[in-house]
Structure 1
Amino acid sequence: MCNKIIDFPCSYTNSSGVRAEITEGLDLSFPDAYLHRETMFKLAKAVKSADGAFHVDLSFCHTLEAEAMGADINLGDDRQGPRCRDYVCDTVDQLLELPDIDFSKGRIYETLMAAQMLADNGEFPNIEICGPFTIMANLIDLKHVFKACRKRPEIMHEVYSRFGKQVKQFIFEAEAHGIKLISYSDPTSALNILGPRLLDSYTREFTVGFLKECIDSIKDDSMLLLCPKTTYALIGTDCAEFVAHELPHNDMQYAEACVSMLGKVKLSGQNCIKNNRLHITNGIFKEVRLK
């Protein structure tokens, strides 16, 4: 039941942009650097080097999908990355009228191309894709969404479905650009924001079915990496369970462990891939298996 869901303490939920100590000396101008594949490539490599990471992360915010659907985004600077400037929708009905994402143009296209450049250069790019609540948070005041969840659940099912289709297409586009590690996070759907009752229904009515469709469709050597907040919601609602796999080494960065499991596991989520200081030290990788 919903009272079994526990929250995952994460310090990266609202992270945006690149730390100033990394951007210094790169000879980049902001926010222009967030708009082009070459500068994203340079930024991602610099972050990897500074953090001692096994992989590279893209993008640098949680606004890509919403911007591509018409959101008003402030692109920020070298200290604070892209974020919502103003809402473009006043009602949940208007969310259904927004355009589909065009993956052949704009910042979302440049991000895909940057990831492909990184993969072509021997890197393991991890592209972070957001879920419906996080996308909505950049388009509409969530008080309208929460009200609709209570009084108009049928239209919210339509919204989840519509946004879910956009997210799935993003996942397939990522694969088409050579990306094998694809993170799925929906930080705005966290327990401390939605509350246990709404998170329970959202997990059962949308998340588990959406993820089943995704893992049935992605390539055998691709992996979806869940934010542990989503993992905990799935486990807490008894929609998923952990299945243990033996790793080739006892001490591995999470991203390195994920790469070693490509072709064996399609869905993971025991750790946060952004936390490079956290290693798996017991030699056990936990697949998230949906029920």
Structure 2
Amino acid sequence: MTFRPVKATSEGQFTIEGAGVNLYRAFGFHKPREFDPFLLFDDFRNDDPKKFEKGFPWHPHRGIETITYVLDGEVEHGDSLGNKGVLGKGSVQWMTAGSGIMHQEMPRGNAAGQMHGFQLWANLPSSLKMTAPRYQDIQGSDIPEIIDDDGTKVKIVTGSFWGKRGPVDGIAADPLYLDVSVPPNTRKVLPVDTYANTFAYIFAGSASFRDASTPYGVRVEKEVNGEEVNIRDMSGNRTLVNFDTGNEIVVNSGPDGVRFLLISGQPIKEPVAWHGPIVMNTREELMQAFNELNNGTFIKDQRDH
């Protein structure tokens, strides 16, 4: 087994999208090769409906897939193909925009006005940029959860893990998307594909990602009154952890445990021409997409049955 070292960590940056949705962006619109095949990752959580209720009104997508995972509250969606639905607590929507779609996403808080969810954009290879759009809506009750002997819980949205497979399938990037909860002060080893680009996003608690040579991430930081003080090398809420290559990740949870998303996918290694919600391979394809958007030919007459 080869331990994956941490390549970089960063904090989600506050931004406003749609018609005024307050969110934190872990990455996006810069250095697309760094997270290939993934393009963007947003964390939208708030307990003030005024900061999210205007949502994401009608807008186009082409050349990508969007993955929406709702932890709390709801997201009502509709599109140009006539699809409508509501994503409830714990549910997932995997939308393949393909050749082009117009849609809207309108978040609603729970009874206490709270909303929490994530959206990930995955690139499509050139051979599938113009594929027929499709949706996969998965209820939270259909997402398998494994509870290990030490209390670690893993929800498998897509991909195979510990002998079980997630319900979302037929995805071009063939990703692994896990929701992982590790109890306090626990060391956990999680297997991943050696060469898939992999990142973790911590959204509750804290953890370090270290190998066995530095258990629980403890290191000597400084001296206080002549005595050494050991400080955990921890990452916490809204922290993105980007890993190097290897086939296992070692998690050392903090005193309150940790909950994070673990996501990996095989890089596409193709040129990226990207502007706003449309991602193609060349500038010419990008210009064609926007020309079609302007002249009313953006939506193609094809559906996935």
Same fold (TM over 0.5): no
Higher helix share: 1
TM-score by length of 2: 0.28
Higher strand share: 2
Structure 1 or 2, whichever has the larger Rg, is: 2
TM-score by length of 1: 0.29
